[in-house]
Chains A and B, each alone.
Chain A
Amino acid sequence: MASQYKTIHPVKYLRDYLAQDIRPDGREFLRFRSASVNVGAISQADSSAIFKIGSTTVVCGIKAELAAPKADTPNCGYLIPNVELSPLCSPKFRPGPPSDQAQVASKTIDDILINSSALDLTDLCVCIDKLVWVLYCDLICIDYDGSVTDACLGALVAALKSLTLPEVQHNPETGAIVVDTSDRKPFPLKSLPVSTTFAIFDEQLLLADPTDEEESLAKGKLCLVIDGPELCGLYKPGGIPISQELLSKSLEKSKKRADLIRKVIEAAVTN
């Protein structure tokens, strides 16, 4: 009976739950789903991570390649994150070029990484003005059940944290390059940004870590990126206006969540 009600009247279905101070999956309003991460499962990638929040799943694989640097930044490497929301992960997406949503997700992840200065692009330099590393970070969503930005960032950070790069010998005169794959060095990651998503409903009701169902019916979305004591992103693209108290409340919650996620990632990488 409940499932028919849900299909016929999704908005009212959710509202009935919220009126009872509970969410359809049995969580309290500000309760997060459990998160887990698995590192290095994909043998063909230079490093990889699978990040799950509830049933939302994102796989990140990093492939390292060599290229010439840009003329205006001769000592900087490249980091190319791309988020793929393929039709595999949800019936919302159709085959073809990336949807607007996927493009915005890619941009957000790229912004967060630059803003958090978690990685120094000069660490990717092999030889100034000649040779730098390019890190192609492909983030593929396998299961789209809300809070995908959080899962993408988690997967990317975990993969970067476990990344090792082989030693490269570059002779600037002859241009000869020799790569020694037996000698791989870990790549230094300076910090560990964690993003948390909230959904906002009428009358300043805040839901932490929304599922896809909640996200699509929400009146607004708020995404906070925490890195240590500081913030490195506050994204709220439109939606219902929020008060100052709501912002403070979400900030406090996301700090606690960030500590937890950081521990989860660090534990997975050290194992």
Chain B
Amino acid sequence: MQNQLETTEEEECVLRPMNCELNQLSRPDGSAMFMQGDTVVVAGVYGPIEAKLQKMMHDRATVETMFSPAKGPPCVDDRAKETVIRETCEAVLLTALHPGMAISINVQELQDSGGLLACAINAACLALIISSISMKFTVAAVSCMIDRESGKLIVDPDSTQIQQARVTFTYVFEGIKKDLVSCHTTGRFSENELMESLEKCRAASQNIFDFYRNIVEQYAIKL
């Protein structure tokens, strides 16, 4: 009995299986199709390209993001996701290397089974790695939730689990010191819950960084 409890507990801290296809798209400079469980996102990166005159900045590159939902035209919700993705990528990129240029990141949702924002950021990060644009660090996004009834913390929940969520967190960590780059929350939570979830997700983010390393290595060998 004791043994069984432990295994379930361990399972809750484990991320859903990840899968990735790199550079499947021929037009973009780098692209990645990233799967976390049943959540699937495609990201394509163009850049550095010529910036639009209105958005051009003389001292660094502008970062443009387009987030397209699986169905329907983008609305206010998607604009909010887009902003998080853009600002995260802006933090990641060495924009000062390409003054007056633009880097365009396009993210297309294919299927959402929980943790869409995290998946989109991971896909964008992989696409940036593959497009070989200079970056300061890599980032990994992890989502987690607290169950309404049991009060249990579940890392990387799927869509059925999310139905029961009282709180959801999405954290983005950088790969060097594991400091917090971005954060988005829904629901009410206490300070302890925040700190606890932050620690667990920080630990879980290592899995994603390892995954990045593996997948890029495999890709490099194939080349």
Residues of A within 8 A of B (CB): 100, 103-104, 106-108, 111, 114-117, 220, 227, 229-244, 247, 251
Residue of B nearest to A100 (CB): B79
**Least CB distance, B183 to chain A, in whole angstroms:** 4
Q: Of B77, B86, B191, B194, which one neighbours A107 at CB under 8 angstroms?
A: B77
Are A220 and B91 in contact, with the CB atoms below 8 A? yes
Q: A103-B76, A227-B188, A231-B190 are in contact. Are A241 and B181 (CB under 8 A)?
A: yes
A residues in contact with B186, CB < 8 Å: 111, 114-115
A234 with B183: CB separation less than 8 A: yes
Report, nearest first, the 5 A-B pairs whose CB atoms are least far apart. Answer: A238-B87, A241-B179, A238-B88, A107-B80, A236-B183
| Cα-based distance from A108 to B177 in the complex (angstroms) | 29
Give chain A residues whose Cβ lies under 8 Å from the Cβ of B89.
238
B84 to chain A, nearest CB (A): 5
**14 A-B pairs with C-beta separation under 8 A:** A100-B82, A104-B83, A107-B77, A107-B79, A108-B80, A116-B188, A227-B188, A231-B190, A234-B185, A237-B88, A238-B90, A239-B90, A240-B91, A241-B91
Q: Is the CB of A231 within 8 A of B183?
A: no
> Are A238 and B187 closer than 8 Å at their CB atoms?
no
Contacts of A231 in B (CB 8 A): 185, 188-191, 194
Q: How far is the CA of A82 from the CA of B188 in the complex (A)?
A: 22
Cβ of B174 < 8 Å from any Cβ of A? yes
CB-nearest residue of chain B to A241: B179
Q: Are B182 and A237 in contact (CB under 8 A)?
A: yes
* Cβ-closest chain B residue relative to A238: B87
Chain A contacts of B96 at CB under 8 A? none
B49 interfacial by beta-carbon distance below 8 Å: no
For the residues of A in contact with B, the DSSP-based class is mixed
B25 within 8 A of A: no
Alpha-carbon distance between A232 and B184 when the two chains are bound, in angstroms: 11
Contacts A243-B177, A244-B198 known; list 5 others, CB within 8 Å: A104-B83, A115-B185, A238-B91, A239-B87, A247-B198
Contact B88 A241 (CB under 8 A): no
8 Å CB contact of B189 from A106, A230, A235 = A230
Contacts of A229 in B (CB 8 A): 190
A231 to chain B, nearest CB (A): 6
Residues in B whose Cβ lies below 8 Å from that of A238: 84, 86-91, 172, 181-182
**What is the distance, in angstroms, from A59's C-beta to the closest C-beta of chain B?**
21
Bound state CA distance, A234 and B177, in angstroms?
21
Q: Map CB proximity to A onto B154-185 as digits: 1 under 8 Å, 0 otherwise.
A: 00000000000000010011100101111111
Question: Chain B residues with Cβ under 8 A from A236's Cβ?
Answer: 180-184
| Segment 68-124 of B: residues with Cβ below 8 Å from A | 76-77, 79-80, 82-84, 86-91
- Distance of A114 Cα from B173 Cα, bound (Å): 26
Residues of chain A within 8 A (CB-CB) of B169 are 234
Taking a contact as CB atoms under 8 Å apart, the answer to whether B83 and A237 are in contact is: yes
Residues of chain B within 8 A (CB-CB) of A242 are 179-180
Q: Would A241 and B180 count as touching, CB distance under 8 A?
A: yes
Kindly list chain A residues whose C-beta atoms are within 8 Å of the C-beta of B83. Answer: 100, 104, 237
Give A73 Cβ to nearest chain B Cβ, in Å: 16
State the CA gap A235–B81 with chains docked (Å). 12
Contact across chains for A247 and B180 when beta carbons are under 8 A apart:
yes
Bound Cα distance A106, B180 (Å): 25
| Contacting residues, chain A, for B84 (C-beta < 8 A) | 237-238
Which of A111, A241, A251 is the one whose CB lies under 8 Å from B191?
Answer: A251
